[in-house]
């Protein structure tokens, strides 16, 4: 069986898993890592017969659910600061690194052909430009026949860690843009969808649209995505290699529960919109937490190929080791 076939089978199989044991682990939250968590839970079940159910409902819902102890663990693409973790009595550590791409639906414009400068991205999502053939966009796209058609921006309807990381990037371009899981968009035409899958579907269906989605959803649907100008002025295609170049600038420390926002990193070859996704655990549930960390540890050891082939970047070995040491100090391994 090829790796690609195994991934497809794993995702399909995991979608159909149902609770059959009283001690099944239940998680929910970020849709950003949804595809890789589906593959990991299927692989883990195949190896251990231990079942982990994860529902990709969005980071906001994940934080709410774990704070109310509705689930055993949660996923969030927005890292929580020390005060929030202390208030909600939570542990936090990273699981994997992914990326956010600007996917589009413009007739005649193929994958990677559209170049978007930082100024153009800001203008599109703040409503400063309304049409695809605006000079701010065309000046970097000589040779492309961009139409005089209104731009529809596809955004998230729910509180989203993907949105948090994308607005973090927008804030780096334009400090007046507020970082938020659910901002008030000022773009000329806005269509909202729930989760990464909802935004992806809107882009796929709406002509002359653009939206921000996690890279694996772009791959799954075959959506074209733009080259994005990084902070050093280079237009970078979203590829696993350019994500890896960006991810190496992440800094992690157990002292602050691995809080890190990687968006807009240094490096001439770095793709500029990358993000880690995190696991949240309730501090009082030591035995359940040990079951969750056993699943994540299996994924750290066995899930890198699955993650890479889905377009994610596995954590560096030293980061995984630091997380394992963190588990030991918290008595959850």
Would you say 132 and 208 are in contact if contact means Cβ atoms under 8 Å apart?
Answer: yes
Would you say 58 and 223 are in contact if contact means Cβ atoms under 8 Å apart?
Answer: no
Q: Which of 11-15, 49-53, 73-77, 292-296 has the lowest mean pLDDT?
A: 11-15
Query: Which 3 state secondary structure label does DSSP give 137?
Result: helix
Of residues 160, 153, 151, the one with CA closest to residue 194: 160
Mean pLDDT of the chain: 92
**Does 19 have pLDDT greater than 80?**
no
Distance (Å) of CA 50 to CA 45, 68, 295:
5, 24, 9
**pLDDT classification of 11: cutoffs 50, 70, 90:** very low
Would you say 107 and 146 are in contact if contact means Cβ atoms under 8 Å apart?
Answer: no
Q: 135-179 pLDDT, tens per residue?
A: 999 999 999 999 999 999 999 999 999 999 999 999 999 999 999
Give the pLDDT of residue 263: 85
Query: Which 3 state secondary structure label does DSSP give 54?
Result: strand
Fold exhibited by the domain 3-98+249-329: D-Maltodextrin-Binding Protein; domain 2 (3.40.190)
**Pairwise pLDDT comparison (6 vs 62), residue with the higher score:** 62
CA distance 73 to 26: 7
Give the pLDDT of residue 15: 36
Give the pLDDT of residue 226: 98
CA distance 215 to 294: 27
Q: Cβ atoms within 10 A of the Cβ of 304, count?
A: 17
**Does 118 have pLDDT greater than 90?**
yes
**pLDDT classification of 251: cutoffs 50, 70, 90:** confident
Same topology between domain 3-98+249-329 and domain 100-246 = yes
CATH superfamily for domain 100-246 = Periplasmic binding protein-like II (3.40.190.10)
Instruction: State percent of the chain over pLDDT 90.
Output: 90
Domain locations along the chain: 3-98+249-329, 100-246
**Does 327 have pLDDT greater than 80?**
yes
By CB atoms closer than 10 A (0-12, 13-18, 19+), residue 155 is buried
And the tokens for 240? 């696993």
Would you say 285 and 72 are in contact if contact means Cβ atoms under 8 Å apart?
Answer: yes
Q: What one-character-per-residue DSSP string does 62-117 give?
A: HHHHHHTT-SSEEEESSPPPHHHHHHHTEEEEEEEEEEEEEEEE-TT--TTT-EE-
């Amino acid at each position: 069986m090829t790796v690609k076939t195994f991934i497809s089978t794993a995702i399909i199989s995991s979608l159909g898993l149902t609770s059959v044991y009283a001690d099944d682990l239940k998680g929910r939250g970020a849709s950003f890592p949804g595809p890789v968590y589906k593959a990991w839970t299927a692989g883990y079940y195949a190896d251990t017969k231990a079942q982990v159910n994860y529902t990709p409902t969005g980071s906001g819902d994940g934080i709410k659910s774990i704070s109310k102890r509705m689930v055993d663990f949660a996923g969030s693409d927005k890292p929580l600061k020390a005060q929030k973790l202390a208030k909600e009595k939570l542990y936090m550590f990273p699981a994997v690194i992914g990326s956010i791409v600007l996917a589009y639906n413009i007739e005649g414009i193929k994958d990677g052909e559209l170049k978007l400068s930082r100024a153009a991205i800001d203008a599109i999502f703040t409503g400063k430009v309304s049409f695809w053939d605006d000079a701010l966009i065309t000046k970097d796209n000589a040779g492309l026949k961009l139409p005089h058609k209104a731009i529809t921006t596809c955004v998230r309807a729910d509180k989203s860690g993907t949105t948090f990381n994308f607005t973090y990037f927008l804030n780096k371009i334009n400090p007046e843009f507020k970082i938020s899981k659910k901002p008030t968009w000022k773009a000329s035409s806005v269509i909202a969808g729930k989760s990464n899958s909802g935004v992806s579907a809107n882009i796929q269906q709406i002509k002359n649209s653009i939206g921000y989605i996690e890279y694996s959803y772009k791959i799954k649907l075959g959506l074209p995505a733009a080259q994005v100008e990084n902070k050093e002025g280079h237009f970078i295609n979203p590829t696993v290699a350019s994500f890896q170049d960006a991810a190496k600038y992440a800094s992690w420390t157990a002292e602050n529960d691995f809080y890190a926002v990687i968006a807009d990193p240094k490096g001439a070859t770095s793709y500029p919109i990358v993000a880690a996704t995190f696991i949240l655990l309730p501090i009082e549930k030591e035995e359940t937490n040990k079951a969750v960390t056993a699943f994540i540890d299996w994924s750290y050891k066995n899930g890198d190929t699955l993650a890479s082939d889905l377009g994610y970047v596995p954590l560096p070995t030293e980061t995984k080791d630091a997380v394992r040491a963190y588990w030991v100090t918290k008595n959850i391994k």
